[in-house]
């Protein structure tokens, strides 16, 4: 036997049988880094290397003071179609010298390593080992004191299987820190602050980004989003809260995030459809979703026909770009309706004409839908003398209980528009519930305060389930350089930063 000693730690290299109390490792072993979401790694055990190293790419520090790091791993050699994205706590940043004399600054993370029945804390440096046949190198500094190395044997602590990665997306998601972009021009609003707090409470990092200050680099190989003179980093998820005044530009920014691979809570096309009231109503009608009788025309010569189509006055006129009750007018008489139509035509403004549901008595129901579930509800009632129930227009809210049919219609409307999170406004009429509008950026203050539901938290939970920890990305793989087995770590890590 031969004993190596480093930093007070004995590691024995043996050629005979070990004692019962020894932890025997072969020249290669199967290991798990469960905290990183890596259930199976083939590790080379190298007593000639002081430190351990893990294959990583797209290495990026984040968080306050850059105390954490996110990175991708190709855990299966020769399978670049399997990518796992991990986050870890930064223990240090050191300069390493490879066996060929090249130096490299690396982040060192602290995590837990499991081999066989044992698990213990280790420090591992992050570096790109794509050309190496082992995705992890286990150095002697990470070995328990009672470790005995048997260089003639392999996998003394049992075998794992790379098939674990094939089934990993089907299992409950491994919670990992995400970098989230919140697109908004109102960073101090209640909704923005609640979404940020909910994400940070779950350990995620949130950057609040002014949508209007983003600019885009669009090309075939490296499209990017920029702000303040530099490219924005990759975001796991994007929460778009696009104001109606910049809908078109906001959609372009969201599309750019979609192009670079970020999960967008609401996609650009769905946001655009929800903002285009004509398109939204046409889509709802196509899916047989009940709504107030709606008419649209371009020529002012057809004013009377337009009024007749919705059953005559009283009727509601809406600008296609209206929001929060603005641009919505009630015409009580035919003369008033004709005058408003003429005025809108002079302004060259597109608008809808809708039947006024008088029995709703100035009230509607706001449903907050996430995915395929109604999460929270409230009934909004208009202020005295107004027919618009929007809270921004002076309305007030009160609790309400939905019927099963109303819940189904609300969810069906959101799915028809293609949104993941939306507010749906319903009217109760004499001939059943009707969908008034689907809102892609619903406010959270009123509905959270009244319902007592953690809507912001459930939005973040929804994002977590849609941002996978293992992302299959088809790409052309290159043959592994299995002959290049001269591992690169040297005994010394020269310097720290």
- Looking at mean pLDDT, say which of 164-168, 308-312, 429-433 comes out highest: 429-433
Rounded Cα distance, 108 and 139, in Å = 13
Residue-wise DSSP of 422-464: EEEEEEEETTEEEEEEEESS--SHHHHHHH---HHHHHHHHHH
Rounded Cα distance, 394 and 405, in Å = 29
pLDDT in tens, 5-15: 444 455 555 44
Q: What is the pLDDT of residue 397?
A: 78
Stretch 207-216: mean pLDDT = 95
pLDDT in tens, 166-204: 765 543 444 567 889 999 999 999 999 999 999 999 989
Q: What is the pLDDT of residue 245?
A: 87
Stretch 286-295: mean pLDDT = 91
| Under 8 Å between Cβ of 24 and 114 | no
Is it true that the peptide bond before 192 is cis, omega within 30 degrees of 0?
Answer: no
Query: Which residues, other chains included, contact 150 with Cβ-Cβ below 8 Å and sequence gap of 6+?
Result: 14, 15, 18, 24, 25, 26, 27, 156
Q: What is the pLDDT of residue 309?
A: 83
**Both structure tokens of 275:** 């903002």
Q: What is the pLDDT of residue 186?
A: 94
Q: How, if at all, do strands 68-73 and 82-98 pair?
A: antiparallel
497: pLDDT confidence band, cut at 50, 70 and 90?
very low
The CATH number of domain 293-356 is 3.30.1490.20: yes
Give the domain ranges of the chain.
2-172+483-496, 179-271, 293-356
Q: What is the pLDDT of residue 384?
A: 61
Query: Which residues, other chains included, contact 178 with Cβ-Cβ below 8 Å and sequence gap of 6+?
Result: 199, 204, 205, 236, 237, 463, 464, 467
Assess whether pLDDT exceeds 50 at residue 423: yes
Rounded Cα distance, 441 and 447, in Å = 13
pLDDT in tens, 124-167: 999 877 667 889 999 989 998 888 988 889 999 999 888 887 76
Using alpha carbons, select from 45, 4, 55 the residue that is nearest to residue 25: 45
Stretch 482-488: mean pLDDT = 35
Sign of the torsion formed by the C-alpha atoms of 175, 178, 183 and 188? positive
- Looking at mean pLDDT, say which of 98-102, 105-109, 452-456 comes out highest: 452-456
**Reduced to 3 DSSP states, what percent helix, strand and coil does the chain have, rounded to the nearest 5?**
25, 40, 35
Rounded Cα distance, 22 and 28, in Å = 17
Assess whether pLDDT exceeds 90 at residue 288: yes
What does CATH list as the number for 2-172+483-496? 2.40.70.10
pLDDT in tens, 14-60: 444 555 568 899 999 999 999 998 999 999 998 888 889 998 888 88
Q: Is 123 left (phi over 0), alpha (psi -120 to 50) or beta?
A: beta
Helix (H, G, I), strand (E, B) or coil at 286: helix
Burial class (CB in 10 A: 0-12, 13-18, 19+), 301: exposed
Q: What is the pLDDT of residue 167?
A: 64
Q: What is the pLDDT of residue 222?
A: 67
Assess whether pLDDT exceeds 50 at residue 493: no
Q: What is the pLDDT of residue 453?
A: 95
| Under 8 Å between Cβ of 447 and 366 | yes
Rounded Cα distance, 80 and 474, in Å = 8
Measured from the Cβ of residue 465, the count of other Cβ atoms closer than 10 Å reads 10
Stretch 339-352: mean pLDDT = 74
221: pLDDT confidence band, cut at 50, 70 and 90?
low
The CATH number of domain 179-271 is 3.40.50.720: no
Assess whether pLDDT exceeds 80 at residue 3: no
pLDDT in tens, 455-482: 999 999 999 988 854 444 443 333 333 3
Query: Which residues, other chains included, contact 377 with Cβ-Cβ below 8 Å and sequence gap of 6+?
Result: 365, 366, 367, 368, 399, 400, 401, 402, 447, 451
Model confidence, pTM? 0.63
Q: What is the pLDDT of residue 10?
A: 52
Assess whether pLDDT exceeds 80 at residue 421: yes
Among residues of the chain, what percentage have pLDDT more than 90? 43
Q: What is the pLDDT of residue 274?
A: 94
Average pLDDT, the chain: 81
Assess whether pLDDT exceeds 70 at residue 425: yes
Q: Which residues pair with 9 in a beta bridge?
A: 6
């Amino acid at each position: 036997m031969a004993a190596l000693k480093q930093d007070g730690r004995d590691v024995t290299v043996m050629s005979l049988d070990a004692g019962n109390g020894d932890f025997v490792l072969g020249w290669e072993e199967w290991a798990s880094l469960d905290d990183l979401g890596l259930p199976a790694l083939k590790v080379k055990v190298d007593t000639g290397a002081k430190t351990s190293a893990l294959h990583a790419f797209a290495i990026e520090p984040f968080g306050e003071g850059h105390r954490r790091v996110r990175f991708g791993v190709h855990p299966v050699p020769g399978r670049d179609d399997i990518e796992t994205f991990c986050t870890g706590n930064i223990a240090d940043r050191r300069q390493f010298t490879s066996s060929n004399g090249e130096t490299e600054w690396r982040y060192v993370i602290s995590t837990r390593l499991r081999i066989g029945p044992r698990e213990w804390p280790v420090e591992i440096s992050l570096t790109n080992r794509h050309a190496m046949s082992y995705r992890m190198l286990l150095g002697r500094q990470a070995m328990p004191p009672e470790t005995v190395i048997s260089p003639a044997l392999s996998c003394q602590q049992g075998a794992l299987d790379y098939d674990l990665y094939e089934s990993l997306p089907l299992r409950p998601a491994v919670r990992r820190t995400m970098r989230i972009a919140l697109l908004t021009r109102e960073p101090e609003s209640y909704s923005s602050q609640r979404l940020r707090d909910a994400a940070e409470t779950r350990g995620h990092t949130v950057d609040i980004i002014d949508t209007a200050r983003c600019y885009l680099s669009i090309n075939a190989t490296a499209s990017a989003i920029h702000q303040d003179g530099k490219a924005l980093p990759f975001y796991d998820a994007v929460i778009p809260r696009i104001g109606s005044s910049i809908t078109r530009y906001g959609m372009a920014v969201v599309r750019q995030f979609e192009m670079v691979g970020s999960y967008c809570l609401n996609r650009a096309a769905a946001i655009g459809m929800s903002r285009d009231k004509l398109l939204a109503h046409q889509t709802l009608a196509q899916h047989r979703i009940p709504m107030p009788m709606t008419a649209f025309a371009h020529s002012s010569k057809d004013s009377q026909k337009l009024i007749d189509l919705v059953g005559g006055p009283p009727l509601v006129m809406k600008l296609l770009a209206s929001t929060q009750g603005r641009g919505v007018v009630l015409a009580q008489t035919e003369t008033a309706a004709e005058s408003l139509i003429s005025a809108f035509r002079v302004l060259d403004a597109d608008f809808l004409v809708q039947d006024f549901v008088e029995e709703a008595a100035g009230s509607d129901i706001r449903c907050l839908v996430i995915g395929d579930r109604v999460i929270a509800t409230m009934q909004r009632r208009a202020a005295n003398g107004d027919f618009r129930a929007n809270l921004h227009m002076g309305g007030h809210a009160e609790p309400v209980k939905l019927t099963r049919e109303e819940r189904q219609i609300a969810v069906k409307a959101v799915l028809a528009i293609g949104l993941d999170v939306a507010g749906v406004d319903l009217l109760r009429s004499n001939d059943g519930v009707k969908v008034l509008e689907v809102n892609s950026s619903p406010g959270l203050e009123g509905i959270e305060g009244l319902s007592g539901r953690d809507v912001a938290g459930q939005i973040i939970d929804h994002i977590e389930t849609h941002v996978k920890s293992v992302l299959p990305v088809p790409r052309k793989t290159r043959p592994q350089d299995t002959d290049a087995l001269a591992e690169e770590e040297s005994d010394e890590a020269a310097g720290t930063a």
